[in-house]
Copies of this chain bind each other. A is one copy, B any other.
Amino acid sequence: EMVAGKIVFFNRPMDKSLPSMNSAYGGAVDQRAYGPPLAAQKGAVAAVVRSMSPRLDDHPHTGVTVFKPEDPKIPAVAISTNDAELLSKSIKANPTTIYVRTTCGMKGEATSYNVIGEIKGSKYPDEVILIGGHLDSWDIGDGAHDDGAGCMQSMEVLYRLKKNGYQPLHTIRCVLFMNEENGLVGALKYAEQAIAGKEFHIAAIESDNGAHTPQAFGCAPGADGKLDLHLSHMATYMNLLEPYYIQLQAGGGGADIGPLKPTAGILIGLRPDNGRYYDYHHSEIDVLENVHPRELASGSAAITSLVYLIDQYGIGK
């Protein structure tokens, strides 16, 4: 079906002067997520979005676009930042005609599964320390950073503990969540079952911010809401990670562990250096060649250390 009409072009670049690229992404991504339905309401026949990337390159970056059931549906595409610069110049110079063709669509739903492995706790088998990432990725790349890295790091925690002959006090569980990108389906199902089964998760730890050098663990409150109490307790041992430039701080958590809040002690997200993350994120260059082995390993080492410390010294009560 070919339709002629107005096309809305969203071209707000990420603000690279912000101290964090996560903030820069957060400050620009509304155009892609919520812009197209607004354009449709105004009668646009399509929407074109500048890729959420701080770089000038030729790789379109995709990601979720949210149409509510009552919104009129129109095609929405992301173009590379170089192409966005070109289109912007063209529009400023002359009335510009573009032709949009997209073969993208929702193909219906299929059953899939979270992947779970654990080492049973020797003293508190019913209390869980969870570590996880998500299995799915945007299909144009391999999802090496988002979130192959988080999955590998989470599996690596169990591997390292086992290889070192460590017998944990609590149950250490690795969860690879399915379908984070389109609505947290696996995370919601996992949390539903954990809450129904009254399975207390002392800590739920997520890695879903790329495979770069870890800088911090960002923490959000669990069921008791006493984040300060837990952070004070954990500060007594987190100085052990200071030589590796890894801090513990309030603010964070993660998408897949969020639904676990009612049955969790604390929610913790690994925060790697994110200066390069949006160079690759949701694009065809999110591939293994762009993951540095040492940085990937630094993340799993950081999480393994944190899991060990929580297993031994808890999060305080």
Chain A positions within 8 Å of B, measured between CB atoms, are 16, 19, 21, 54, 213, 215-216, 243-245, 247, 273, 275-276, 292, 294-295, 298
Of all chain B residues, which has the CB nearest A54?
B294
When all copies of this chain in the complex are counted, the total is 2
- Once A54-B294, A245-B247 are accepted as A-B contacts, the answer to whether A213 and B19 lie under 8 Å apart by CB is no
Name the one of B16, B54, B216, B292 contacting A276, with C-beta atoms under 8 angstroms.
Answer: B292
CA distance A298 to B21 in the complex (A): 12
Name the one of B243, B275, B292, B298 contacting A213, with C-beta atoms under 8 angstroms.
Answer: B275
CB pair A243 B19 closer than 8 Å: yes
Point out which of A19, A247, A294, A298 has the most chain B C-beta atoms below 10 A from its C-beta. Answer: A294
Of all chain B residues, which has the CB nearest A297?
B16
Name the one of B16, B213, B216 contacting A273, with C-beta atoms under 8 angstroms.
Answer: B213
CA distance A317 to B292 in the complex (A): 44
Name the one of B19, B213, B298 contacting A244, with C-beta atoms under 8 angstroms.
Answer: B19
Of all chain B residues, which has the CB nearest A21?
B294
Name the one of B216, B247, B275, B298 contacting A275, with C-beta atoms under 8 angstroms.
Answer: B298
Residues of chain B lying within 8 A (CB to CB) of residue A276? 292, 294-295
Residues of chain B lying within 8 A (CB to CB) of residue A19? 243-244
CB pair A294 B247 closer than 8 Å: no
Q: Give me 8 A-to-B residue pairs in the complex whose CB atoms sit less than 8 angstroms apart, sorted by A's number.
A: A16-B294, A21-B294, A54-B294, A213-B275, A216-B245, A245-B247, A275-B295, A275-B298
CA distance A16 to B243 in the complex (A): 16
Residues of chain B lying within 8 A (CB to CB) of residue A298? 275
CA distance A247 to B215 in the complex (A): 12
CA distance A298 to B17 in the complex (A): 10
CA distance A273 to B276 in the complex (A): 13
CA distance A215 to B292 in the complex (A): 18
Of all chain B residues, which has the CB nearest A244?
B19
Residues of chain B lying within 8 A (CB to CB) of residue A243? 19
CA distance A298 to B54 in the complex (A): 15
Name the one of B16, B215, B294 contacting A245, with C-beta atoms under 8 angstroms.
Answer: B215
Residues of chain B lying within 8 A (CB to CB) of residue A21? 294
Of all chain B residues, which has the CB nearest A294?
B275
